[in-house]
Amino acid sequence: MKLSRIWPGLVVLALLLAGLEAAVNAGLIRRALMPAPSAIAPVLWGLLESGEVLEPLFATLRLVFAGFAIGSVLGIAVGLAMGWFPAAFRLLEPLVELLRPIPKAALVPALMLFLGIGETMKITSVSLAVLFPVLVNTLQGVRGVDRVMLDAARTHGWGPAHTLLHLVLPAALPFILAGMRISLGLALVLAVLAEMLTGQGGLGFLILDMQRSFLIRQMYAWLVILAVVGLALNGLFLFVERRALHWQPALRP
């Protein structure tokens, strides 16, 4: 995005912040609920400067990345198997359809009883949330591979392993990546939720804890940090996706 295209939006954002500042100072909004942005900024800066931000930030990111990696690898592997081998599809399809509609957020309490409130439980719940969108998209991608291309590969004497690696996987990649992008957002949601429900760990826990302790400025500061994390993760993935799919004409700007 060009700067010339987004500057009107940035001006509106700046105006909104200024308006909020004025409204709080004029007493239109209760300071106890929404401190002025100028009061939140020093707290935010303090967290960043003292390095206090690092530990919770890394705790949350570790959950997100570990769960995302496990869920994605499993989802892609099972999805490829189900798409490629009809026997695997027949074997696993009813199970997947049964487990898929279970809201993964509602599983967190069950997992807490089972696995405690440590990292294992959190990473498990994140990977469960990631698994199914990736699996379903991979399956869809594999099934959408052009039959003519598959025939061509066979004509050229490609073995199944070679075909899977050099034809099916690249052809399914746009679908797989789309599933992974959806899952990345879900991973962050589940990580934050698991931290809130277990009452320990990273950014999610801190935001809830600050609210309950009535440290409102700190709460907003941590919320800003979390929003930046969400924005950065999404941006990072879009960048990776564009690099990985540069050969796809439709995605070229």
Partner 1 sequence: MRLSARPSSGVVLVACLLLLWEVSARLDWMHTPNWPPLTDVLVALAHDTLTGELPLLVGGTLWRMAAGLAAGGAAGVVVGMLFATLPMTARLFGPMVELVRPIPIPAVIPPLVLFLGLDNTMKVTVVALTVFFPVLTNTMQGVAAVEADTLAMGRTFGIGPLRRALRITLPAVLPYILAGFRVSLALALVVAVVAEMIAGEQGIGHYLVMMQFAGRAPEIYATVLVLAVLGYGLNRAFLVMEHRTIHWWFAMGRQADG
Contacts to partner 1 from residues 80-99, by CB under 8 A:
87, 90-95, 98
Residues 6+ apart with CB under 8 A from 163: 150, 153, 154
What is the smallest separation between the CB atom of 205 and partner 1, expressed in angstroms? 11
Of the candidates 208, 202, 198, 209, the residue with the CA atom closest to the CA atom of residue 229: 202
Please report whether residue 196 would count as binding partner 1 according to CB under 8 A.
yes
Please report whether residue 231 would count as binding partner 1 according to CB under 8 A.
yes
Please report whether residue 200 would count as binding partner 1 according to CB under 8 A.
no
Rg (CA), the chain: 23
Cα 223–Cα 200–Cα 234 angle in degrees, nearest 5: 40
CA 171/CA 156 separation, integer angstroms = 18
The tokens of 147 are what?
């039959």
Question: Mask: binding to partner 1, 160-189, rule CB under 8 A, as x and -?
Answer: -------------------------x--xx
Please report whether residue 16 would count as binding partner 1 according to CB under 8 A.
yes
Among 59, 135, 168, 193, binds partner 1 (CB under 8 A): 193
What is the smallest separation between the CB atom of 241 and partner 1, expressed in angstroms? 15
Residues 6+ apart with CB under 8 A from 238: 181
Please report whether residue 2 would count as binding partner 1 according to CB under 8 A.
no
The tokens of 82 are what?
């189900």
Mutual angle of helices 86-99 and 54-84, in 10-degree steps: 140
What is the smallest separation between the CB atom of 103 and partner 1, expressed in angstroms? 5
Segment contacting partner 1 (CB under 8 A): 48-56, 130-138, 159-167, 204-212? 204-212
Residues 6+ apart with CB under 8 A from 216: 32, 33, 34, 35, 210
- Binding residues for partner 1, per CB under 8 A? 5-6, 8-10, 12-13, 16, 33-34, 87, 90-95, 98, 101-103, 105-110, 112-114, 185, 188-189, 191-193, 196-197, 203-204, 207-208, 210-211, 216, 219-220, 223, 226-227, 230-231, 233-234
